[in-house]
Amino acid sequence: MSEDLKILDEVTNSDYKWGFVSNIESDNAPKGLNEDIVRFISLKKSEPEWLLQWRLKAFRHWLTMTEPKWPNVSYPEIDFQDIIYYSAPKKKPTLNSLDELDPEIKATFDKLGISLIEQQRLAGVAVDAVIDSVSVKTTFRETLAELGIIFCSFSEAVHDHPELIKKYLGSVVPYTDNFYAALNSAVFSDGSFCYIPKGVRCPMELSTYFRINSAGTGQFERTLIVAEEGAQVSYLEGCTAPMRDENQLHAAVVEIVSHTDANVKYSTVQNWYPGDKNGKGGIYNFVTKRGICLGDRAKISWTQVETGSAITWKYPSVILKGDYSIGEFYSVAVTNNMQQADTGTKMIHLGKNTRSVIVSKGISCGRSQNSYRGLVKIGKNASYARNFSQCDSLLIGDKCGAHTFPYLEVANKTAKVEHEATTSKVGEDQIFYCNQRGISTEDAVNLIVNGYCKEVFNQLPMEFAVEAQKLLSISLEGSVG
């Protein structure tokens, strides 16, 4: 084995640094799933009847569905009766005072590096933190409220803004959409809601932090973002979980509605526990994310940095309904050890002169498998629609795999669709060149991979980009010997 391969091998053997378990008392539902559990969750959240009925419809529909088998991933069958569908920290914190926040939860967030203290104003980030199933604290709510911006947990929104939830819930991702979206619709426990009124430009980054803490639980959060005409918002999402031997399910749904001239930017840094190097444990991240550009000149931009999870199954998509609307997808997906990722996007062009850009950077190391799967669909009325896709794969070592599955469906002759794809290896020549300039192999791999991801990192807000780079280097640790 050459030196580089040895290094690759070692770098892929790093430990997960967010693997702590917080000792927070939690209030769990019994294991398993049936209508009673759905009712239990709805009751726990004191939901209105219409929402319970919606959940039950979703649940009944879910029963008729089967797990999708088309992704290029393999895992043992999931026993959906062996999962706890609701887990809430027991001491329910009041939202009025930080002092009343459970010190353990606070310590957890401190470890994660997200301070809930309003000093965060300096960083200009408002945070909604979700532990297991419940949204714990939303910072800066008052500041935002002055502008008419609503940023709160999903359950609160159900109570305080039912008309908005009723109008938009399931409007982009209906519960019939797919197996996991249906499951989420039945059992979702909390999440974030964000509403930007007409003409308002959100003055700070909004951020949600998700963490799965309890054993044997699934996390099913729902995020709904609505930007009214001419509104603008940048939304960040971060995720971590403790190390556990068993696999945990995370099936979230994110819906974005962007009205005329509105602009929504959604950035994710996903770092769920990926499992150990033999593939034991880790999160199954089966997520449905979709946005719709409802009005003309609306824009939705997805940026994701996926470094965690045992399995990632995720296609943040944009439906380009309004004329001249724009959809963007920038992605870095890293797989190491035994991780598997099948991720990409769907750009559905319905309106005229709609434009979409896809930049996907896959990085595979260890014995991992990394697939890009993307659909570009041009409807028959989408005259002069344009898409540009670039899908690059980078291989580190010789035991991993990279795959690309691009799908193109073009029903309008005036459309212009471009697809570029490359596959490359981190070359021994590149590493040696860096070595010869005094740079260690591990630093060299980081440098090379960061260079490769630059286009995507440039899309991230500054602080997030720094975090993404750090995460990337941690994920790559041990990938080179």
Partner 1 sequence: MLSIKNLQAAVEGKQILNGLNFEVKPGEVHAIMGPNGSGKSTLASVLAGREEYEVSGGSVSFLGTDLLEMSPEDRARAGLFLAFQYPVEIPGVSNANFLKTAVNEIRKARGEEILDSKAFLKLMNEKMKLVEMDKAMTQRSVNEGFSGGEKKRNEIFQMAMLEPKLSILDETDSGLDIDALRIVSNGVNALRTPDRSFIVITHYQRLLDYIVPDFVHVLYKGRIVKSGTKDLALELEEKGYDWIKEEIAVGA
Q: Which residues bind partner 1 (CB under 8 A)?
A: 2-4, 427-430, 432-441, 443, 447-448, 450-455
Cα distance between residue 169 and residue 55, in whole Å: 11
Strand order in the sheet with 299-306: 134-138, 125-131, 205-211, 232-240, 263-270, 299-306, 326-335, 355-364, 386-395, 416-425
* Shorter beta-carbon distance to partner 1: residue 205 or 392: 392
CB of 284 to partner 1, least distance (A): 32
Q: How far is the CB of 421 from partner 1 (least distance, A)?
A: 15
Task: Tell me how far CA of residue 315 lies from CA of 127, 330, 383, in angstroms.
Answer: 24, 11, 25
Cβ proximity to partner 1: between 72 and 430 the closer is 430
In terms of CB distance, is 379 or 397 closer to partner 1?
397
Q: Which is nearer to partner 1, 37 or 305 (CB)?
A: 305
Tell the smallest beta-carbon distance from residue 277 to partner 1 (Å).
25
Contact 179, 147 (CB under 8 A): no
Cβ 294 vs Cβ 260: under 8 Å: yes
Nearer to partner 1, 176 or 435 (CB): 435
| Closest distance to partner 1 from the beta carbon of 431 (Å) | 9
Which is nearer to partner 1, 10 or 27 (by Cβ)? 10
Q: State in angstroms the smallest separation of the CB of 428 from partner 1.
A: 8
For partner 1, the closer of residues 3 and 229 by Cβ is: 3
Q: What is the smallest separation between the CB atom of 238 and partner 1, expressed in angstroms? A: 24
State phi, psi for 458 to the nearest 5 degrees: -60, -20
| Minimum distance from residue 457 beta carbon to partner 1 (Å) | 9
CB of 346 to partner 1, least distance (A): 27
Nearer to partner 1, 329 or 452 (CB): 452
